[in-house]
Copies of this chain bind each other. A is one copy, B any other.
Amino acid sequence: MSERQADAPSVRSDDAGDTPPDHGLRAEVAMSPLPLYSQIKDVLRERILDGTYPAHSKLPSESALMATFEVSRITVRQALRDLQKEGLTFSIQGKGTFVTKPKAVQELTRLQGFGEAMARKGYETYSKLTGAREVGADRDVARALGLSRGEAVVEIERVRHLNRSPVSLDVSYFPADVGRRLLQEDLAARDIFDILENDYAFRLQAADLTIDATVADRRLAGHLGVAEGSPILRIERLTYVDGSRPLDFEYLYYTGDAYQYRLRVERN
């Protein structure tokens, strides 16, 4: 019976080995502000990413995890459910929980800004501010932000660079109150999402994306350093705070050859 259960005890072997289970993860819990299930999730994720649990392998069963981490089943299940939502694992009733292939794709279904996403991958980015002014909302902007046509909005236009080459033109529209504050920030250096969340304390919730293809006109071609008629991936992104208030409507024009948008979708 040389089977996988045997490695369950080794799960918690990261400690020096002299500590009994009750001083394992549990000891630092009192110190940590993070929920238990979140800490367990982090531990499991790290072990998946570093190869302790290779692709296709079976994770320890829920009861094994309960014993290992000394928590109840509901806590283990919440950790596993979150991992599954991240696309790292999947479960089959009666068999177990398994590791999916640890590719690069995951976590791109998350709402994150350009700089945020690229920095995490070790790319060098910066933005050049090519326009920032107050304008009247056109039809699309007004509808997206829930305003009337002609109402004041702030338009911020930036060219995003990746490794010194331009990859996208971002045109963002904000309601006047937020937009005017943004006009005074250092938009070239800081991620707008960072400002919104940390300085303004907005609770970014989700965003609706619409993706289609177009070709570069003269102006786009100039900004992005491509020929007129080159393929352009256009994304409309409407970001919501507190669930339903639209805060940020953007057009993102990516050069077709320099960028690919990746995501994972689930069945059911």
Residues in chain A within 8 A of chain B (CB atoms): 55-56, 74, 85, 87, 89-90, 92, 98-101, 103, 105, 109-112, 203-215, 229-234, 240, 242-244, 254, 256-257, 259-268
Contact = CB atoms under 8 A, between A and B. Distances in A.
Contact of A208 (B103, B215, B244): B103
B90 A256 contact: no
Contact of A256 (B56, B208, B213): B213
B212 A259 contact: yes
A93 B195 CA distance: 23
Contacts of A266: 109-111, 205-206
A162 to B, nearest CB: 15
Contact of A268 (B110, B214, B232): B110
Contact of A98 (B55, B244, B267): B244
Contacts of A205: 90, 266-267
Contacts of A233: 211-213, 233
Q: How many chain copies does the complex carry?
A: 2
A1 B210 CA distance: 36
Contact of A243 (B90, B110, B268): B90
Given A90-B205, A92-B242, A208-B103, A265 B213 contact: no
A261 B212 contact: yes
Contacts of A261: 210-212
A231 B244 contact: no
Given A211-B263, A212-B256, 16 more contacts: A89-B243, A90-B206, A100-B240, A105-B208, A109-B109, A205-B266, A207-B265, A208-B264, A209-B262, A209-B265, A211-B233, A212-B233, A212-B257, A212-B259, A214-B256, A215-B215
B244 A204 contact: no
25 contacts: A74-B74, A85-B85, A90-B243, A90-B244, A101-B244, A103-B208, A105-B208, A109-B109, A109-B266, A110-B266, A111-B265, A205-B267, A206-B267, A210-B262, A212-B233, A212-B256, A212-B259, A212-B261, A213-B213, A213-B231, A213-B254, A214-B256, A229-B229, A231-B231, A263-B265
